[in-house]
Amino acid sequence: MQLNQLVGSLLLASPSLLDPRFKDAVVLVCHHDADGCMGLIINRPRSISVSDVLIDLEIELDSSRNVHDESVQRVFDGGPVDDFRGFVLHDGWNVYESTMQVTPELHLTSSRDVLESLGQGDGPEHFLLLLGYAGWEAGQLETELMNNDWLIAPASNQIVFQEPPEARWDFGARCMGIERARLSDQIGHA
């Protein structure tokens, strides 16, 4: 497997993965090279809203153009590493100061300008604001994959933005023809 092949894929935590920080996690792989891997957990909403974060950052909210209804849009727990670092995962129509393409449909931005656009109501149509990320050192994810700790599923706007967070694992697995009830926590090697 070439290192960058996983970029833009979803990692679905298998029942055999023992790390409680990743139980039932769905991770979008955003970067993967010889030094390691970075991804975002996309199925764990926090109890704070996007507008709470924007207000904390002193970003002005234009309530008359609030097309995303940030008052109810939840912030997501992107992973256990650096949980104060923010990322906006969004559809591919808007490009900002630090936008990185993950797939042709999905982009990742970590600069303030995307947050200001969200506050003004003219940001990306579909987005997730995530705090923190998942990270693996060189070779660590490959070892976990060989141990069958993760299933690899294709990412899509449907899974990331339209499925309810609690349904994203099952939807990703169904896209691969897998049913959770048929998986064992004792996955082995053939």
- What mean pLDDT is reported for the chain? 87
How confident is the model at residue 121, as a pLDDT? Answer: 85
Q: Which residues contact 88 (CB under 8 A, 6 or more apart)?
A: 108, 109, 110, 114, 115, 118, 123, 124, 127, 128, 129, 130
How confident is the model at residue 179, as a pLDDT? Answer: 77
Residue 190 belongs to a domain: no
Residue 76 belongs to a domain: yes
SS3 state at 69: coil
Q: What confidence tens digit (pLDDT) does each residue in 16-25 have?
A: 888 899 999 9
Q: Which residues contact 20 (CB under 8 A, 6 or more apart)?
A: none
Residue 75 belongs to a domain: yes
| H or E segment to which residue 127 belongs | strand 127-137
Q: Are 146 and 134 in contact (CB under 8 A)?
A: no
Q: What confidence tens digit (pLDDT) does each residue in 131-148 have?
A: 999 999 999 999 999 999
How confident is the model at residue 123, as a pLDDT? Answer: 87
Question: 115 φ, ψ to 5°?
Answer: -65, -40
Residue 187 belongs to a domain: no
Across 9-13, average pLDDT? 96
Residue 189 belongs to a domain: no
Residue 138 belongs to a domain: yes
Q: Are 115 and 57 in contact (CB under 8 A)?
A: yes
Residue 21's domain spans which residues? 3-182
Higher pLDDT, residue 1 or 80: 80
How confident is the model at residue 189, as a pLDDT? Answer: 46
Q: Say how many domains are in the chain.
A: 1
How confident is the model at residue 67, as a pLDDT? Answer: 43
Residue 67 belongs to a domain: yes
pTM for the structure as a whole: 0.88
Residue 188 belongs to a domain: no
Question: 28 φ, ψ to 5°?
Answer: -85, 120
Q: What confidence tens digit (pLDDT) does each residue in 81-125 have?
A: 998 899 999 997 788 889 999 999 999 999 999 999 999 888 888
Residue the block writes with tokens 């070439």: 2
Across 154-158, average pLDDT? 91
Q: Could you tell me the CATH number of the domain that includes residue 149?
A: 3.40.1740.10
